[in-house]
Amino acid sequence: MVGGIRFKTNVLMAPLAGYTCFPFRLMAEKLGAGSAYTEMVSADALKYNDQATSKLLYTDEREKLKCVQLLGAVPTVFERAAKSDLLADFDIIDINMGCPVPNVVKAGEGSALLEDIPRASKIIEACKRSGKVVSVKCRIGMNNSKIVIEEFARMCEVSGADMITVHGRTRAMMYDGEPLYEYIKLAKDSVSIPVFANGGIFSKEDAENMMEKTGADGIMLGRYGFENPLIFPELTGIKTKDTKYTLIMEQLETAAGCFDELYVLSYIKKLASYFMKKLPGTKQYKLALYRCGNLPELRKILGEIFEA
């Protein structure tokens, strides 16, 4: 139970820029994900209500649990965003306090908040004034000499966060290296709110290892959720007859019903590239995939790749 909301499973899908659009979130939910967050949304950009932001926030009644991730550095901006009509339909607000990308950190956002705990606290409090459930996604620290996860986790709880997801790497590690399991466990042992573990999960064995070593309440999948979304039913026991072919075709049709053709082509090509990893004999199709310029042609190529 997270702030009065019960996830149907404790296997979640991480927010990832460029990928966790509405169609993907629907698929993850169908396959057993307890929740799936929107792509990272700038809290400040919400005031413009432009087309790009509208695509990031697209949802409808098919998405049962609606979760948005916000990025920013100014508490008042977060409060305005959390209370805005644009987020009225969302059940959970996740605050990005872990993104390690240089331009994000330079702006005082993402991982930079690990070094400004008072500001991070004010941001959480600001979001909670919306009345919504609030979660925080963070890393364990900026580098090995600046690991702050114990203090940071306690601050999150005191400030009103309903849940924490801990990526078990420092900002300096980016996305490489073995997660530092002991620090996720330290966060779990330091608070009474749910703690989910993230980072380095690319198989069922990795997931089981993460749970065993950290004692976390659940896991959050990142990149592997795109490479093999069938990991969700494998981890949760949800029954499915889906294959990568049925999933990619369903994604195409769902996206085509929500977005313009250019967006659909871009999204499906990226997703198909992830799906193709480790599949034999797909090199010949990669060039054709990226030269493809319309949906009928894309359907044909996807059939050749995934039904072959």
Residues assigned a catalytic role:
99
Dist CA 296 CA 76 (whole Å)? 47
Go through the chain and tell me how many residues it has: 308
Dist CA 217 CA 219 (whole Å)? 7
Query: In 101-180, which residue ranges form alpha helices assigned H by DSSP?
Result: 102-106, 117-128, 149-159
- Tell me which residue has tokens 């995934």: 306
At 153, the amino acid letter reads A
- Tell me which residue has tokens 């042992």: 189
Contacts of 197 (CB under 8 A, 6+ apart): 165, 166, 168, 179, 184, 210, 211, 214, 216, 218, 219, 220
